Amino acid sequence: MLWRPAVHNRLIFRMYALIAVAFWGISFVSSKSLLSYMDSYSIITARFGLAAVFLAAMCLLAGKSLKIKLHHIPHMIILAVCGIWIHQSLQVEALNYIDAVTAGWLISLSPVFTAILAMCFGEKMTRFKAAGMAAAFTGVVLVAESEGFSLTAGTGIGLMVLSTLNWAVYSLLVKKLPLPYPVITAAFYTSFFGALFMLPFTIRSGGWKSLMSLPPEQWLHLLFLAVFVSAAAYWLWGKALSVLSATGTAAFLYAEPLFTMLAGTALLGEKWTWTAAAGGVFILAGVYGMSRDEGKRLSPK
C-alpha cells in the first residue's frame, strides 16, 4: 500500500514534537544538577547564549539568512520574553523548591491551558482531542500518585503551574505572530534576545564566576541544555507548530514526565511502579488521541 504524503508529513512533525519533549523532560535533571553550582539566572543566560551561537552556526551551514526586517524585531522580543525570560525563570526557580520529577509532572498541565486558549482563538475542540486530554491527564495523575505526589510544595508548584500557562501563551504566539522566516532563524533570535535580557541579572549576581569554575561533568549538563534542550528542541517545537495545531502539538507535553522519570531511573536509580506504568500507557494513548485527527496543514517554513 502506498504511503500517503500528508500522513507521512504529519508523522514526521509529530516526531519533531516528541523529540523536543524528550529533551525537555530530561532537562529537569540537568537543571537540578547545575543549581548546585550556579544560580538560575546564570544557567539560563549561559544555555541560551550558547544555543544562539549554535543556531547561528547551523543557519550559516544550512544556507539560511539571519536577516530580518526591522518591524519584526518586536515580535522576536515578545517570543524571547515569553518563551525564555519568563518561562525559564519560573521553571528554574521552581526547581529550588521541588524535585525534577515533580516538575515533569506539573509541566504536563500545559496542554490543558493550550487547548483552552486555542478554543478562545477559534481552534476546534474535537471528540478525539477531548478524550485524549482526559486520558492523558488521568495518566499524569497516576504517575504522580505512584511517586507519592503531594500538593503541599506551595511555592515550587505555583511557579511551575504559572510556567505551564505561560508556555501555552508562547505556543499560541508562535502560531499567530506573522514571521515569514525559517523556524531556525526565529529560534536564533528567540535564544539571542532571551540570553541578552537575562545577562544583567547574571552580571549582578556574579554568575560568570561560577561558570569559570564549573566542573567538567557540569559542563556536559550545560552543553546538553544549550545544544539539545534550548537550540534543537525550540527549533523542533517551532517546526511542529508550523504544521500541527497548537492543541495537537501541546498534547505531546503529556509525555514529558515519562522522559523525566526515565532520566531519573537511568541517572538517579529511581524505580518504576505498576501505577507509573499504567499512567504512562494513559499518557501515550492521550497523546495519540489528541494528535490523530490533525487535518492537512500548510507546508512548514
Nearest 5°: CA angle at 86, between 80 and 87? 90
pLDDT surpassing 90 at residue 112: no
* pLDDT tens for each residue of 235-265: 888 888 888 877 777 778 777 777 887 877 7
Nearest 5°: CA angle at 157, between 156 and 161? 120
Rounded CA gap, 169 and 114, in Å?
A: 7
How many Å is the maximal CA-CA distance in the chain? Answer: 62
* pLDDT tens for each residue of 257-287: 778 878 777 765 656 667 766 776 787 677 6
The residues, any chain, with a CB within 8 Å of residue 219's CB and separated by 6 or more, are none
Closest listed residue to residue 35, CA positions, set 50, 25, 24, 46: 46
The per-residue pLDDT for 1 is 34
Task: Let me know: does 249 contact 298? Beta carbons within 8 Å.
Answer: no
Rounded CA gap, 48 and 259, in Å?
A: 22
Rounded CA gap, 64 and 209, in Å?
A: 35
The per-residue pLDDT for 269 is 65
Task: Let me know: does 237 contact 17? Beta carbons within 8 Å.
Answer: yes
Rounded CA gap, 223 and 225, in Å?
A: 5
